[in-house]
């Protein structure tokens, strides 16, 4: 028998994570069980209560490409949120990822991964970019680089897949497209970030024909490097766009800050055709392994 080491980050966050997980399980039960056991047994289970997460792992500057046991510790903390049941995760977006780090996260959680190489090298020579973790996918979309009008500061990218919930290879609802992205950083880069969000929401056609959201819900996980009231996020909040924290916030202090300095700059957005789900049980947990928190929510929907 192997005894796993418990990291300081996991010890500090374990109580809160377990309480959150228990509350979310209890919230989900009525939709699944109903008042009459015989009715619940015969009725099809069309409601999904699935976790979605995003995490800037600080993989190059903070870890210089290392894919060591700190990743195992983070994966254990993710498991704690769902009481060890990783089937409850629809997907997780990772940013600032050296390729081997994303692959180890996937192995530790029993998931698959897709990666976008933004053309930058990590300190140890690995490709650098964003990763998407998921159980299964109907297809992985061709990744893309985001607009970089001034040609400085390094390329940013997006990777997406049409994902399926664990144990549901043939979902009855419209296809759910999950994405992980990381926008340009910098106080003078708001115009560039606006071009990037406009590209993601309105301009990009991964299949050459349809923009994201035209055929089914889009779920975007990412470090957007802007607070909720920033104009570059207008397009993501527009139409039927919804963010996991709820109403758009204006100024500090933020309900759920995701960065060490107290800002909210990490997001979980939904929009597109059929994107009528409800975000709830939204939260964060801190870690010593990154300057960002792990940000997560439960999406209750009849799609996915």
d(CA 39, CA 48): 18
46 sits in which H/E element: none
- The model's confidence at residue 43, banded by pLDDT at 50, 70 and 90, is very low
Q: Report the alpha-carbon distance of residue 45 to residue 278 in Å, rounded.
A: 17
- Domain for residue 200, yes or no? yes
User: Is 43 domain-assigned?
Assistant: yes
Residue 163 forms part of a structural domain = yes
Q: Domain residues for 199?
A: 8-301
User: What is the structure's pLDDT at 140?
Assistant: 97
Comparing CA positions, the residue from 162, 113, 114 lying closest to residue 139 is 162
Which of the pair, 169 or 74, is modelled with greater confidence?
74
Cα angle vertex 199, ends 138, 164, to 5°? 15
> What integer pLDDT is reported at residue 132 of this predicted model?
98
Question: How far from chain centre, in Å, is Cα 243?
Answer: 12
What does the DSSP 8-state code read for residue 259? B
Indicate the range of 29-38, 80-89, 131-140, 145-154 predicted with least confidence: 29-38
Nearest to 84 by CA among 164, 177, 22, 39: 22
User: 19: helix, coil or strand?
Assistant: helix
The tokens describing 267, both together, are 């997001």
Q: pLDDT tens digit string along 172-195?
A: 567 899 999 999 999 999 999 999
45 pLDDT exceeds 80?
no
H or E stretch at 105? helix 99-109
Angstrom distances, CA of residue 160 to CA of 95, 134, 148: 13, 11, 19
Decide if 128 is inside a domain. Answer: yes
Maximum Cα interatomic distance, the chain, rounded to a whole number of Å:
63
Count of Cβ atoms closer than 10 Å to residue 39 Cβ:
10
Label the pairing between strands 176-182 and 218-223.
Answer: parallel
pLDDT tens profile 75-106: 999 999 999 999 999 999 999 999 999 999 99
Please say if the pLDDT value at position 29 is more than 90.
Answer: no
217 within a domain of the structure (yes/no): yes
To which residue do tokens 């390329």 refer? 155
The answer as to whether 1 is a domain residue is no
Q: What is the mean pLDDT of residues 236-259?
A: 96
Average pLDDT over all residues of the chain = 87
| pLDDT > 90: percent of the chain | 75
Query: The CATH number of the domain where 218 resides is what?
Result: 3.60.10.10
**How far apart are alpha carbons 154 and 225 in whole angstroms?**
14
Q: Among residues 142, 282, 268, which one has the least CA distance to residue 217?
A: 268
Strand partners for 280: 298
How many domains does the chain contain in total? 1
pLDDT at 289 over 60: yes
């Amino acid at each position: 028998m192997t005894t796993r080491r418990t990291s300081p980050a996991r010890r500090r966050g374990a109580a809160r994570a377990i309480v959150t997980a228990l509350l979310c399980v209890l919230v989900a039960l009525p939709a699944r069980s109903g008042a009459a056991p015989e009715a619940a047994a015969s009725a099809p289970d069309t409601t999904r209560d699935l976790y979605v997460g995003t995490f800037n792992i600080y993989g190059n500057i903070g870890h210089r490409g290392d894919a060591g046991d700190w990743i195992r510790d983070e994966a254990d903390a993710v498991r704690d949120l769902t009481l060890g049941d990783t089937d409850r995760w629809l997907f997780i977006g990772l940013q600032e990822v050296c390729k081997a780090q994303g692959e180890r996260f996937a192995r530790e959680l029993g998931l698959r991964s897709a990666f976008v190489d933004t053309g930058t090298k990590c300190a140890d020579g690995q490709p650098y970019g964003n990763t998407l973790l998921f159980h299964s996918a109907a297809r992985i979309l061709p990744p893309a680089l985001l607009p970089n009008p001034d040609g400085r500061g390094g390329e940013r990218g997006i990777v997406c897949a049409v994902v399926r919930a664990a144990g549901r290879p043939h979902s009855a609802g419209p296809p759910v497209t999950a994405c992980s992205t990381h926008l340009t950083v910098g106080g003078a880069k708001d115009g560039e970030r606006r071009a990037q969000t406009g590209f993601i929401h309105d301009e990009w056609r991964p299949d050459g024909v349809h923009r994201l959201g035209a055929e089914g819900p889009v779920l975007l996980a990412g470090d957007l490097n802007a607070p909720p009231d920033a104009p570059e996020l207008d397009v993501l909040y527009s139409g039927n766009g919804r963010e996991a924290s709820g109403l758009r916030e204006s100024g500090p202090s933020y309900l759920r800050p995701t960065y060490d300095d107290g800002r909210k700059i990490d997001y979980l957005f939904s929009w597109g055709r059929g994107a009528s789900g409800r975000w709830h049980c939204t939260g964060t947990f801190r870690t010593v392994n990154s300057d960002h928190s792990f940000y997560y929510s439960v999406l209750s929907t009849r799609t996915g």
